[in-house]
Structure 1
Amino acid sequence: MRKIFLLICCLLSLIANAQTGRTIYSKSYGQRKDPVIIFIHGGPSGNSTLFEGTTAEKLASKGFYVIVYDRRGEGRSIDSTATFTYQEAINDLNELYKTYSLKKANIIAHSFGGLVGTLFAAQNPDRVNSLILAGGLFSQQETYDHILKTTKEYYTEKKDRLSLQQIAEVQNLSKNSAEYRKRCYELASKNGYFTMPFPTAEADELREHFELGKFASSNIRNNNAPIVFYRNEPRNNIDTQPILKNLKKQVKLFAIYGKQDHIFSDRQLSNMENIVGKQHFMIVENCSHFLFVDQQKIFINAVVGWLK
């Protein structure tokens, strides 16, 4: 009788999930007894496939219990009802803690995940051992200003009037809009701001292995996510530096950035170094936005050195 009851409960749960279109993807690597690391991916519209397919197992082999997941409505976490707010992301992280019976964890927060990780840690400092910003966003408007300023300088030198007109159009958009964000990052991408300047054989091999493997085929992008995020989240263009300064009193902070991650200005990186401290800060040469692929060994060694 008990087995029948449990079967009915499972079926009801599946039906409910099917009706809401919700399923949160997560996977763990390593031994449960080891220190926990949660990886928070970029976005909105991102996923953790690149980190999972290239780095999760290698980091776990260094003595960590690594958990990857895709935020609700992004990547493999299909959810037609997702609102893409920070609070929703924080709530789902708390559920992830319950799923894996975690009391505390170390967090690696990449790109937009830096904002999510910072806000989560600020709400739950007792649940976070350390926060590692890996190319993590923090002062968004400074990033957009830097992209527009540097691309404008480049196109002015090239006397590219069409591109300069496009920059002027972006500058006239609302700074709290999905279109503004999208077009800033399109300019950055077009000019190689996210590209490793001198690809090494190791980095090329990692990318090729990823593209030929199972994770590339599950690299799902929800292009509607940024639009819904900007519609629902009032804090859509924030500066988390004041939060990080206060958080430093409660949580260990670390930061690692690529020297050629050109979405960040020298001033921004200097400010971040001042926040986390010189011993907790690293700039990696010949490295752009995806540090864990561009310079994987350096990235893993930095994480291991800081956490162990």
Structure 2
Amino acid sequence: MKFFTAFLFSIFSIFCQAQTIYSKAYGNSQNPPVIFIHGGPSGNATLFEGTTASKLAEKGFYVIVYDRRGEGRSKDENATMTFKESFADLNQLYIKYKIKKAHIIAHSFGGIIGTLFTRQFPKKVSSLTLAGALFTQQETYDHILKEAKIYFKNDPAQLKEISEIERLDKNTAAYRKRCYEIAGKMNFFKMPSPTPESENLREEYEAGEFYKNNIRNPDSPAKFYQNEPLNNLDNTAVLKEIKRKGVPIFCIYGKNDGIFSEKQLNDLKNIVGKGNFKLIDNCSHYLFVDQQDEFFKFIKLTLK
């Protein structure tokens, strides 16, 4: 009887967990599965889903999008925002959509999660694609602040703010937040010369239902730094380990994504190999919107 009760409880727990996770699949389930991991903490997959998911599915993939527990449309006040929890969310997708192995496309902070998940579960990953993804976090923050000192060299107020940021504990949500705020002031997340195609994609997104559901939990970053001891990571060694295990790694970045230094991108290219690395001109952080055609060409070429 005790065993039966425990079994029912475990089934109920899995069911409840599944209910807290927003997810949706696009395309034919017989096609190669692709899971998109969004950025954050305090992110969601609405931009990718609203502009890119169905079009990528039309190119011969079974595309699965989701919002992590406690973020976006996956509301959960009890979410811990830890990597362990993120891995549980991903593993739940494998069960829900009856897949044994999937290509992972990881964007921004999702790159940290995708990289760590691939190291822990290499047999579940057909390939890992870092798309404008973080991999050496402190180098990114150092680069942002270094560029900010040049950009704001004649602005005493901004220089004072930069000095304040540099004095903060680097393993805190406040430090991360203020670094990215400075990056935003320098337009590091915007493509230099928007094309008609990119403008149309954003206008359609902002006029549609996905934008209305662009929900962000402002408490997510603080909870992540409070509950997750592994933060501000350098995943260089992890990527090399994944490569040794035989999981293909592909990287696609915007040439004008200001949060990454030239050195960082060259280091990444040296790890994965020149043929597995692509840098897109006139493109910043949201490359699947900035230069969607180039993004599709790379994905179709590498994942097929």
1:260 paired to 2:256: yes
CA distance in 1, matches of 2:19, 2:144: 36
Of 97, 115, 119, the residue aligned with 2:116 is 119
CA distance in 1, matches of 2:49, 2:12: 28
CA distance in 1, matches of 2:93, 2:294: 28
Of 156, 161, 166, the residue aligned with 1:166 is 161
Paired positions, count = 293
Q: 1:71-82 maps to which residues of 2 (within 5 A)?
A: 71-82=68-79
Per-residue CA deviations over 1:136-173 (Å, capped at 9, x if unaligned) read 100000000000000011111xx100000000000000
1:269 paired to 2:265: yes
Give the structure 1 partner of residue 136 of structure 2. Answer: 139
What secondary structure, in the 3-state scheme, does the structure 2 residue paired with 1:248 have? helix
CA distance in 2, matches of 1:35, 1:79: 30
Give the structure 1 partner of residue 218 of structure 2. Answer: 223
| Structure 1 gaps, min length 5 | 1-8
What secondary structure, in the 3-state scheme, does the structure 2 residue paired with 1:135 have? strand
8 Å CA contact 2:151, 2:186 repeated in 1: no
Q: 1:263-302 maps to which residues of 2 (within 5 A)?
A: 263-302=259-298
Between the two proteins, what is the percent identity of the paired residues? 58
CA distance in 1, matches of 2:161, 2:277: 36
CA distance in 1, matches of 2:80, 2:20: 14
Give the structure 2 partner of residue 4 of structure 1. Answer: none
Q: 1:52-131 maps to which residues of 2 (within 5 A)?
A: 52-131=49-128
CA distance in 2, matches of 1:287, 1:78: 32
| Structure 2 gaps, min length 5 | 1-7
Shift >6 Å, 4+ stretches: none
Give the structure 1 partner of residue 3 of structure 2. Answer: none
Give the structure 2 partner of residue 3 of structure 1. Answer: none
CA distance in 2, matches of 1:258, 1:31: 30
1:22: how far off?
6.2
CA distance in 1, matches of 2:138, 2:230: 12
Give the structure 1 partner of residue 207 of structure 2. Answer: 212
8 Å CA contact 2:81, 2:224 repeated in 1: yes
8 Å CA contact 1:22, 1:80 repeated in 2: no
8 Å CA contact 1:199, 1:294 repeated in 2: yes
1:177 paired to 2:172: yes
Give the structure 2 partner of residue 155 of structure 1. Answer: 152
8 Å CA contact 1:22, 1:81 repeated in 2: no
What is the Cα-based RMSD across aligned positions, in Å?
A: 1.6
What secondary structure, in the 3-state scheme, does the structure 2 residue paired with 1:107 have? strand
1:21: how far off?
12
